[in-house]
Every structure is written in structure tokens, then in C-alpha cells.
Chains A and B, each alone.
Chain A
Amino acid sequence: QQQVKQSPQSLIVQKGGISIINCAYENTAFDYFPWYQQFPGKGPALLIAIRPDVSEKKEGRFTISFNKSAKQFSLHIMDSQPGDSATYFCAAGPNQGGKLIFGQGTELSVKP
């Protein structure tokens, strides 16, 4: 009930390509779905987040797609850049400022 499953575990993309990371959740009480970006030696930093009342949210090169019936959501990074190379975590929780359950992470490498 509390798990958030993330895939793939690692991803290699060419510069300019599209990076896609997928997550699935179980608890229908979750109402807030953020994506965090983490660089080595740093804490996770919020990238973009969505609520289940919308199916898509776009901020610059980053887009979240949300499928409430399937209990799945995904992160798309358009025009991927080497500076995007980091570990990405999806998460889910009951609200924006509350307890989050994190996925296992995806290590993204963008090759020049």
C-alpha cells in the first residue's frame, strides 16, 4: 500500500534526446506526486510536482504525465543535456508539505 515503484534503474540518453522515467504507486490516498533531482553529495531538490486533478504539467523542458486510473506517472525530460545527469526520484504523499514515499531512483547519464 505504501510502495512507489520506479523504472528504469539507470538510463543513458544522447544529448538532445528525450529521457523518460516511470513510476507506479499503490495508495489511492496519495494526492501529491513530486519529482526530485539529486546530484552526488547533495540532498534531493524538487524539480516538478503534480496533483491528480490534472493529467499533465510542463515546466520548461520537464513534463509530468499522470494516469490516475492506472496509478502511474512519468517524467519526461526534453532536449536532455549533460547537466541533467543526476539521480531522479519520484515520490508520493498525501499533500505538498507532508510525508513522502520515494521510489528507488533512476541514475540518468546524458552523453554529449
Chain B
Amino acid sequence: GAGVSQSPRYKVAKRGQDVALRCDPISGHVSLFWYQQALGQGPEFLTYFQNEAQLDKSGLPSDRFFAERPEGSVSTLKIQRTQQEDSAVYLCASSSGGGDNSPLHFGNGTRLTVT
């Protein structure tokens, strides 16, 4: 079946612009995560949804970052007034839920470059 799909694959933004990154999780997956991966580093947790509820947003680096999943399926990560330090790969992952359901499945990410 289809995996986690992210779009766009690449995004170049001028500093100060707003961007929106999309994630289509695996069908039926309840849990959805956003991670930020800087060059040469491991993924860092940003936020977590269970269905449409955002249960953990402790990793969002500033109030310029906002995520939503209004119908419990597709999710959008929005970054307002982008800064150079926002340049990274943004990874989305989904799972069928906590406990012993399924591991995290990652998409191929969106590479954001802020110039």
C-alpha cells in the first residue's frame, strides 16, 4: 500500500515568507508526528496528533510554527515569517497508534531552504 506522502519535496522561501508543508499519512493511521531534521543531525520531535487532536506540541521551536490536522487525516505544518535557521528537512511520520500497534512510518520529507 501507499506510504506516507509529503509535498512539496523541495521548497525555497525568501526570509520572511510563510510556507505550508503537507503530509498525507498512511490510510487509517491514527497518530501523526512532525519532525525537523537539520543537516547531519537526527530528527527532532516537533508535534504529535492523535486523530484531529494535537496532544503534544512541546517541540515547536517558536510561535511561528503551527500545525493542524482538522479531519484527522492530512496534516499541514505552517511556518510564518521564515528565518534562515528554519532551513531543514521536515519529516512526517504516522502510526496506527500507541502501544503495540505499529511502528512509526516516515515520509521522505520536505527540504526547506530559506534564503
Contacts and interface: CB of A to CB of B under 8 A. Distances in A.
A94 B105 CA distance: 16
A105 B97 contact: no
A102 B103 contact: no
Given A95-B99, A102-B43, A102-B44, A43 B31 contact: no
Contact of B103 (A6, A46, A103): A46
A96 B101 contact: yes
Contact of A97 (B4, B44, B97, B109): B97
Contacts of A89: 42-43
B83 interface: no
Nearest to A51: B100
Given A43-B107, A46-B103, A100 B45 contact: yes
A43 B108 contact: yes
Interface string A88-112: 0101001111111111110000000
Interface string B78-113: 000000000000010101111111111111110000
A41 B108 CA distance: 7
Contacts of B103: 34, 46, 49, 96-97
Interface of A: 6, 34, 36, 41-46, 49, 89, 91, 94-105
A101 B45 contact: yes
Tell me the interface secondary structure of chain A in the complex. loop
Contacts of B35: 102
A44 B31 CA distance: 17
B51 to A, nearest CB: 13
B41 interface: yes
Contacts of A34: 103
A89 B41 CA distance: 9
Contacts of B96: 97
A72 B33 CA distance: 26
Contacts of B33: 99
